[in-house]
A and B are shown apart, each in its own frame.
Chain A
Amino acid sequence: MIKKFFYTLFFASLFGLFFSYELKAQCGSELTDICHAELGDARFIRDFPVQHSEAQSGSSPRVTRYNVVLNAGTTYRIFSCNDQTKPGKVIVSLYRGDQLIATTYDVDSGRHFPYIEYPVSASGQYSLTFMFKDGQEGCAVGILSSVR
Chain B
Amino acid sequence: MAKKNVILLLLISGVVSLFVMSCAPEKREEATDLLTDTMITEDVGITDEAVGEMISSVPNPVEMSALLQKSDVVYSQDLLNPDSNIDNYNTNFERSLNLGVYGTDLVYMNIYDRTVSTLAYLRNVKDLADDLRIGQFFDYETLNRLSESSRNVDSVLYITNRGFDNMTRYLIDQNRSSIAILVAYGTWIESLYIATNVQTKPPNKDLIYQRIGEQKIVLDNLLLLLSNFRNDPNIDELFMDLMDLKKEFDNVSITYVYKEPKMKEVDGSIVVVDKSRSEVNINQEIVDGIARQVNYIRNKIIK
Is the Cβ of B269 less than 8 Å from the Cβ of A101? no
Interface residues of A in 68-90 (CB under 8 A from B): 68-69, 71-74
Is the Cβ of B269 less than 8 Å from the Cβ of A117? yes
Smallest distance from the beta carbon of A89 to chain B beta carbons, Å? 15
Is the Cβ of A66 less than 8 Å from the Cβ of B56? yes
Closest to A73 in B: B207
Q: B63-80 CB contact bits vs A (8 Å, 1 = yes)?
A: 100100000000000000
Closest to B273 in A: A119
Query: Bound complex: CA of A123 vs CA of B265, how far in Å?
Result: 23
Query: Bound complex: CA of A123 vs CA of B261, how far in Å?
Result: 14
Is the Cβ of B162 less than 8 Å from the Cβ of A47? yes
Give how many A-B residue pairs fall within 8 Å (CB-CB): 118
Whether A67 contacts B66 in the complex (CB less than 8 A), given A46-B56, A101-B261, A121-B275, comes out as no
Whether A69 contacts B57 in the complex (CB less than 8 A), given A29-B162, A121-B274, A124-B217, comes out as yes
Q: How many of A's residues come within 8 Å of B, CB to CB?
A: 40
Smallest distance from the beta carbon of A83 to chain B beta carbons, Å? 17
Among A6-14, A16-24, A52-60, A108-116, which stretch is in contact with chain B? A108-116
Query: Is residue B270 contacting chain A, with contact meaning CB distance below 8 A?
Result: yes
Query: Bound complex: CA of A78 vs CA of B46, how far in Å?
Result: 27
Query: Is residue B277 contacting chain A, with contact meaning CB distance below 8 A?
Result: yes
In-complex Cβ contact of A119 among B257, B270, B274, B278 (8 A): B274
Is the Cβ of B277 less than 8 Å from the Cβ of A121? yes
Whether A118 contacts B274 in the complex (CB less than 8 A), given A29-B166, A45-B60, A45-B62, comes out as yes
Query: Is residue B272 contacting chain A, with contact meaning CB distance below 8 A?
Result: yes
Interface residues of A in 94-148 (CB under 8 A from B): 94, 96, 99, 101-104, 113-125, 146
Residues on the B chain within 8 Å of A121, using CB: 274-278
Whether A43 contacts B269 in the complex (CB less than 8 A), given A36-B158, A66-B56, comes out as no
Query: Is residue B211 contacting chain A, with contact meaning CB distance below 8 A?
Result: yes
Smallest distance from the beta carbon of A28 to chain B beta carbons, Å? 9
Query: Is residue B135 contacting chain A, with contact meaning CB distance below 8 A?
Result: no
Query: Is residue B214 contacting chain A, with contact meaning CB distance below 8 A?
Result: yes
Residues on the B chain within 8 Å of A68, using CB: 56-57
Residues on the A chain within 8 Å of B254, using CB: 123-124
Query: Is residue B218 contacting chain A, with contact meaning CB distance below 8 A?
Result: yes
Residues on the B chain within 8 Å of A43, using CB: 62, 66, 154, 157
Residues on the B chain within 8 Å of A36, using CB: 158, 162
Query: Bound complex: CA of A5 vs CA of B268, how far in Å?
Result: 54
Smallest distance from the beta carbon of A43 to chain B beta carbons, Å? 7
Residues on the A chain within 8 Å of B274, using CB: 101, 118-122
Query: Bound complex: CA of A69 vs CA of B278, how far in Å?
Result: 13
Smallest distance from the beta carbon of B68 to chain A beta carbons, Å? 13
Enumerate 12 A-B pairs (CB-CB under 8 Å) in ascending A order: A43-B66, A47-B165, A69-B218, A94-B272, A102-B261, A102-B272, A104-B270, A113-B268, A113-B269, A115-B269, A116-B269, A124-B278
Which A residues fall within an 8 A CB radius of B? 29, 32, 36, 43-49, 65-69, 71-74, 94, 96, 99, 101-104, 113-125, 146
What are the 3 tightest A-B residue pairs by CB atom distance, in nearest-first order? A122-B278, A122-B276, A67-B57
